[in-house]
Amino acid sequence: MTMPDDDILAPRRPPSEGGSRASSARTGARGPIIDQEGHEIRPETLEQGFREFRFEFGQGSPFGNLTREQRIARLEAIAKLLDVAFILPGTNIRYGIDGLIGLIPVVGDIITTAISLWLVREARALGAPWYITARMLGNVAVDGVVGMVPLAGDAFDVMFRANMRNVRLLRRWLDKQPRI
């Protein structure tokens, strides 16, 4: 027995459900609303809460109001997370999530390269000149291409630390700039 498409979208009600139940179904009332502690919540309270709750889109970037120093600190924190966040137990070797995500063949290296490229984009937005940006892109390219090699590339990712190199390049350039 097949069901027509209309019944799938809006099931038919038996004729016995007329009158008062049909009107209460339209308003959405199905009984008391109970919270996690078992207390009844009045519908007026919910309506007031929904009117006060707003989620506004298009009010600008959540990072748009950061100062220059805050943006640089964010870049340094991301670079440390990617390259030197953890220590291999029993050794002095530091690695980050770049080395871990890079263990996923191809996709992991694409993801970490994309994050590294975002760091270069942020450096450019901070005013880094073309020659600094070019060196940063070279570091990302070397890290991305060599990182594609299974196992050896992951070891190279751990030792090369392209993101830390890029942040160091940016920091050196920024330190030479006059303070405004």
Cβ-based neighbours of 104, under 8 Å, separated by 6 or more: 111
The residue type of 119 is L
Residue 123 token pair: 């450096």
- Is residue 97 a contact partner of residue 81, using CB atoms and an 8 Å limit? yes
Q: What is the pLDDT of residue 33?
A: 75
Query: What would the pLDDT profile of 150-163 be if each residue is shown by its tens digit?
Result: 888 888 988 999 99
Q: What is the pLDDT of residue 142?
A: 95
Q: What is the pLDDT of residue 39?
A: 78
Query: What would the pLDDT profile of 4-18 be if each residue is shown by its tens digit?
Result: 555 444 555 555 555
Low-confidence ranges of the chain (pLDDT < 70): 1-29, 46-64, 180
